[in-house]
């Protein structure tokens, strides 16, 4: 089950399968697909947060019990490719997407968190890739993402050993951006997300797009996109509003145009 709620300009998507470690069943994958599609078309939003229900689990990855009934590679890829596609949707969402890691982020759960733009973890939570102890590898492109976030040495350490790390160590390694102190991971993520209310929505979307291209595309292609977006945004109503607000010493009122 996926619980959708909203606080201010932030849509909160809560994975709610506490009896199964908030694991991603096919039904939950489909629900995430639909929710992310709605977020793309909601002009009231500045950001999205993905979290888990309860205090024990963020997400423990794939639904091992249900996936164990798969009988051949074709059936396996049909299900796992769809889940991998949802993580791609998280990564490519025009809005910033934050993971509020409230509990264990294990295997595919950590892959999901790494697909988000930033990660906020509750103090004491643990995360890791146990796949080497299960005779498999991460199935949702998690190797690619942990390499991008933490580098080769850290990625190999985590992937080969299957060891878990706590939030403090994860922060040191670059897996987590903020460790919540005296508040929940969700509250920490919401507090940061509220800061985006003063940002121009078109700028937020362009920032994410250019960052993605800079990480993935050839340098000249990424620079061309950045140049194009800079020129496009310069002539928007929001940029003109920002200039006027600066001159008049007031807060700008952005319209997303």
Please, what sign has the CA dihedral across residues 231, 237, 242, 245? positive
pLDDT greater than 80 at residue 67: no
What does the alpha-carbon distance between residue 98 and residue 115 come to, in Å, rounded to a whole number?
Answer: 9
pLDDT greater than 80 at residue 68: no
Residue 170 sits in the same domain as residue 229: no
For residue 52, give the 3-state DSSP assignment: strand
| Per-residue model confidence (pLDDT) at position 151 | 95
Residue 156 sits in the same domain as residue 244: no
Residue 125 sits in the same domain as residue 162: yes
Residue 112 sits in the same domain as residue 209: no
- The whole-number average pLDDT for the span 194-210 is 94
| Per-residue model confidence (pLDDT) at position 239 | 95
For the segment 75-129, what is each residue's pLDDT rounded down to a tens digit? 777 788 999 999 999 999 999 999 999 999 999 999 999 999 999 999 999 999 9
Distances (CA, A) of 212 to 71, 96, 176, 185, 216: 36, 12, 18, 25, 6
| Per-residue model confidence (pLDDT) at position 160 | 97
pLDDT greater than 80 at residue 162: yes
DSSP annotation of 195 reads G
Residue 89 sits in the same domain as residue 150: yes
Residue 148 sits in the same domain as residue 236: no
For the segment 1-32, what is each residue's pLDDT rounded down to a tens digit? 999 999 999 999 999 999 999 999 989 999 99
Residue 30 sits in the same domain as residue 151: yes
* Domain-located, residue 253: no
60 contacts 24 by C-beta, under 8 angstroms: no
Between residues 43 and 179, the one the model is more confident about: 179
Residue 79 sits in the same domain as residue 31: yes
| Per-residue model confidence (pLDDT) at position 71 | 75
Global pTM reads 0.94
* Domain-located, residue 87: yes
| Per-residue model confidence (pLDDT) at position 183 | 96
- The whole-number average pLDDT for the span 185-190 is 98
**Residue 137, exposed/middle/buried by CB under 10 A (0-12, 13-18, 19+)?**
exposed
How many domains are contained in the chain? 2
What does the alpha-carbon distance between residue 31 and residue 82 come to, in Å, rounded to a whole number?
Answer: 12
Residue 55 sits in the same domain as residue 83: yes
What does the alpha-carbon distance between residue 95 and residue 204 come to, in Å, rounded to a whole number?
Answer: 7
Q: What residues make up the domain containing 237?
A: 199-248
Among the listed ranges 103-107, 156-160, 197-201, which one has the minimum average pLDDT value? Answer: 197-201
Residue 71 sits in the same domain as residue 127: yes
- Report the chain's mean pLDDT, rounded to a whole number: 94
Beta strand residue intervals within 78-220, DSSP E: 97-101, 104-106, 118-122, 126-128, 164-166, 178-180
Between residues 62 and 165, the one the model is more confident about: 165
């Amino acid at each position: 089950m996926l619980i959708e709620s909203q606080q201010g300009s932030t849509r909160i998507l809560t994975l709610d399968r506490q009896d199964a470690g908030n694991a991603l069943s096919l039904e939950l994958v489909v629900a995430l697909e639909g929710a992310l599609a709605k977020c793309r078309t909601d002009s009231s939003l500045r950001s999205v947060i993905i979290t888990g229900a309860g205090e024990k689990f963020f997400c423990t990855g794939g639904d091992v019990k249900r996936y164990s009934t798969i009988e051949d590679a074709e059936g396996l890829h049909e299900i796992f490719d769809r889940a991998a596609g949802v993580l791609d949707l998280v990564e490519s969402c025009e809005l910033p997407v934050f993971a509020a890691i409230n509990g264990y982020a294990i295997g595919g759960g950590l892959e999901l968190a790494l697909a988000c733009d930033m990660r906020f973890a509750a103090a004491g939570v643990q995360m890791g890739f146990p796949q080497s102890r299960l005779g498999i590898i991460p199935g949702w492109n998690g190797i690619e993402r942990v390499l991008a976030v933490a580098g080769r040495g850290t990625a190999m350490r985590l992937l080969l050993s299957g060891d878990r790390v706590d939030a403090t160590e994860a922060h040191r390694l670059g897996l987590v951006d903020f460790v919540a102190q005296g508040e929940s991971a969700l509250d920490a993520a919401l507090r940061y997300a509220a800061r985006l209310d003063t940002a121009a929505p078109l700028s937020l979307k362009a920032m994410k797009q250019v960052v993605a291209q800079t990480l993935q595309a050839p340098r000249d292609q990424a620079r061309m996109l950045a140049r194009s977006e800079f020129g496009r945004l310069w002539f928007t109503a929001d940029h003109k509003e920002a200039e006027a607000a600066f001159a008049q010493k007031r807060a700008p009122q952005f319209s997303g145009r």
